[in-house]
């Protein structure tokens, strides 16, 4: 009887090495790897934190040829929700569930080694679903990009305690920008990836409202309006362009929901009116690159003797926190905000004004 090694060599010579790595051909360019091949592609670390999910999803989008990825994130009590939207090659409908099975990948011949290890063993989405309360494809199809929703119970999978601090980027000894300070939170995970893929893959990180505003802003400036007249179904447009088809607030909410963004009607009106500015990309924010919406220059309080000065971005963030907190009071007393909270900064005082609508 021939030795097993001789048998494998014979099979390889007759059918090609690729067949030895594949357990099942799933169609549409996807395969299920054999256990040995998946183990050979073992990543350097398993998912231990929410931030690991962010990195794996960004790597997936990059390897799907996306050059732009949007991350909408929100936290409510002990639940973290993440929505990833990209303009990559997309996933056929028949594969929306199978991509979460172990060892399923479209990267049989294109596995990639990067700073986080080997990518392309068909285990990232499987590991994410195993660690999350929910992980699913919201919408995707071949050539149209993807939207993934991931919900995490923070009692089961931890995240860094400080999620508000952004990292600081500086050039290293090789003259390459890298994150050198800041907690290893979601912003730093996105920042490290954005700098690693600088000029190759842009990343945008923000709240669902900020991401929706950015998608709408970009789509309005890139879509051919004449061609949109003949689009009956937004599902035929790339995921990241669909909000550009919205004709009014109702339309905006319907399309946003279809790509995983849940917003209020008031928020939709504000976005359509241009009241919420688009985000800078993560790399632009870290490198302070110029854009239509620059971060304000830091204020030197030592040189300003007139009183307290607070950057407009910080005031806007504070206003959004107040708006969310107001909801608890509003639900109890049947009142709602007529406009976003107005924050006024004076020499020795900060005043917040809530304009309200009283319930009938």
Does residue 91 lie in a domain region? yes
Q: How many domains would you assign to the chain?
A: 3
| CA of residue 308 relative to chain centroid, distance | 35
- pLDDT bracket for residue 174 (50, 70, 90): confident
Give CA–CA dist 90/81, Å, rounded: 21
Does residue 12 lie in a domain region? no
Give CA–CA dist 24/35, Å, rounded: 11
Looking at 206, 234, 266, which one is the last position of a domain?
Answer: 206
Specify the higher pLDDT residue, 143 or 101.
143
Assign residue 182 the CATH number of its domain.
3.30.565
Q: How many CA atoms lie within 13 A of 253 on its CB side?
A: 10
Q: Are residues 172 and 121 in the same domain?
A: yes
pLDDT for residue 3: 52
Q: Are residues 90 and 126 in the same domain?
A: yes
Looking at 206, 222, 253, which one is the last position of a domain?
Answer: 206
Phi (first) and psi of residue 170, to 5 degrees: -140, 160
Write out the two tokens for 181.
């300070």
Does residue 5 lie in a domain region? no
Q: Are residues 318 and 266 in the same domain?
A: no
pLDDT for residue 120: 63
Q: For residue range 222-247, list pLDDT tens digits in order.
A: 877 656 656 667 878 999 999 998 98
Predicted TM-score (pTM) of the model is 0.71
Does residue 3 lie in a domain region? no
Helices (H), the chain: 4-15, 17-21, 35-40, 50-63, 124-131, 186-196, 208-222, 225-228, 249-258, 265-272, 282-287, 312-333
Specify the higher pLDDT residue, 291 or 280.
280
Tokens 């936290």 correspond to what residue? Answer: 75
pLDDT for residue 227: 60
Domain boundaries, position 343: 312-358
Q: Are residues 29 and 159 in the same domain?
A: yes
pLDDT for residue 226: 59
Residues in the chain: 360
- pLDDT bracket for residue 358 (50, 70, 90): low
Sheet holding 30-33, edge to edge: 22-27, 30-33, 104-105
Across 28-32, 40-44, 114-118, 310-314, least confident range: 40-44
Phi (first) and psi of residue 51, to 5 degrees: -60, -30
Tokens 């919900």 correspond to what residue? Answer: 151
pLDDT for residue 296: 43
Q: Are residues 106 and 176 in the same domain?
A: yes
- E strands, 63-190, are 68-76, 79-86, 104-105, 112-114, 117-119, 134-140, 146-153, 168-171, 177-181
**What totals of helices (H) and strands (E) does the chain contain, helices first?**
12, 16
Does residue 298 lie in a domain region? no
- Contact between 84 and 71 under an 8 Å Cβ cutoff? The reply is yes
pLDDT for residue 7: 45
- pLDDT bracket for residue 351 (50, 70, 90): confident
Average pLDDT over residues 61-87: 96
Q: Are residues 156 and 283 in the same domain?
A: no
Q: Are residues 94 and 220 in the same domain?
A: no
Q: Are residues 246 and 110 in the same domain?
A: no
Q: Are residues 34 and 103 in the same domain?
A: yes
Specify the higher pLDDT residue, 82 or 127.
82
Give CA–CA dist 198/13, Å, rounded: 42
Give CA–CA dist 334/356, Å, rounded: 10
Does residue 136 lie in a domain region? yes
Q: For residue range 289-347, list pLDDT tens digits in order.
A: 433 344 444 434 344 444 566 777 677 778 777 877 877 777 777 787 777 778 887 76
Tokens 């993807």 correspond to what residue? Answer: 146
Give CA–CA dist 19/92, Å, rounded: 23
Q: Are residues 256 and 331 in the same domain?
A: no
Does residue 300 lie in a domain region? no
User: 59 Cβ partners below 8 Å, 6+ apart?
Assistant: 112, 114, 116, 119, 124, 193
Average pLDDT over residues 162-188: 92
pLDDT for residue 110: 60
pLDDT for residue 109: 61
Looking at 183, 206, 229, which one is the last position of a domain?
Answer: 206
Give CA–CA dist 193/60, Å, rounded: 12
pLDDT for residue 194: 97
Tokens 């689009």 correspond to what residue? Answer: 231
- pLDDT bracket for residue 44 (50, 70, 90): very low
Q: Output b/e per residue, 139-155; b: 16+ Cβ within 10 A.
A: bbbeebbbbbbbebeee
Q: Are residues 44 and 192 in the same domain?
A: yes
pLDDT for residue 307: 53
- Mean of per-residue pLDDT scores for the chain: 81
Q: Are residues 241 and 332 in the same domain?
A: no
Does residue 127 lie in a domain region? yes
């Amino acid at each position: 009887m021939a030795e097993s090694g001789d048998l494998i060599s014979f099979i390889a010579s007759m059918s090609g090495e690729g067949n030895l790595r594949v357990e099942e051909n799933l169609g549409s360019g996807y395969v299920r790897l054999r256990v040995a091949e998946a183990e050979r592609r073992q990543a350097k670390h398993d998912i231990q934190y929410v931030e690991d999910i962010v990195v794996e999803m960004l790597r997936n989008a990059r390897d799907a040829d996306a050059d732009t990825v949007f991350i909408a994130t929100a936290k409510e009590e002990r639940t973290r929700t993440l929505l990833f939207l990209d303009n990559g090659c997309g996933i056929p409908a028949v594969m929306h569930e199978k991509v979460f099975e172990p060892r399923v990948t479209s990267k049989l011949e294109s596995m990639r080694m990067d700073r986080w290890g080997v990518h392309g063993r068909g285990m990232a989405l499987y590991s994410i679903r195993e660690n999350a309360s929910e992980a699913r494809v919201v919408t995707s199809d071949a050539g149209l990009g993807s939207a993934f929703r991931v919900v995490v119970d923070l009692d089961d999978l931890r995240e860094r305690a400080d999620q508000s601090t952004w990292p600081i980027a500086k050039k290293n000894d090789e003259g390459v920008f890298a994150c050198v300070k800041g907690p290893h939170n979601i912003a730093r995970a996105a920042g490290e990836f954005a700098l690693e893929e600088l000029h190759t893959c842009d990343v945008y990180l923000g709240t669902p409202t900020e991401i929706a505003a950015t998608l709408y802003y970009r789509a309005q400036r890139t879509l051919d309006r004449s061609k949109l007249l003949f689009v009956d179904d937004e599902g035929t447009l790339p995921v990241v362009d669909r909000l550009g088809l919205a004709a009014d607030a109702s339309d905006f909410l319907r399309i946003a929901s279809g790509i995983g963004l849940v917003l209020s009607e008031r928020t939709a009106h504000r976005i359509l009116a241009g009241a919420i500015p688009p985000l800078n990309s993560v790399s632009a924010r870290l490198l302070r690159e110029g854009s239509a919406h620059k971060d304000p220059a830091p204020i030197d309080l030592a040189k300003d003797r007139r009183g307290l000065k607070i950057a407009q971005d910080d005031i806007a963030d504070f206003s959004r926190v107040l708006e969310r907190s107001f909801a608890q009071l509003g639900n109890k007393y049947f009142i709602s905000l007529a406009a976003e909270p107005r924050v006024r900064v004076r020499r020795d005082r900060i005043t917040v004004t809530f304009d309200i609508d009283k319930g009938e």
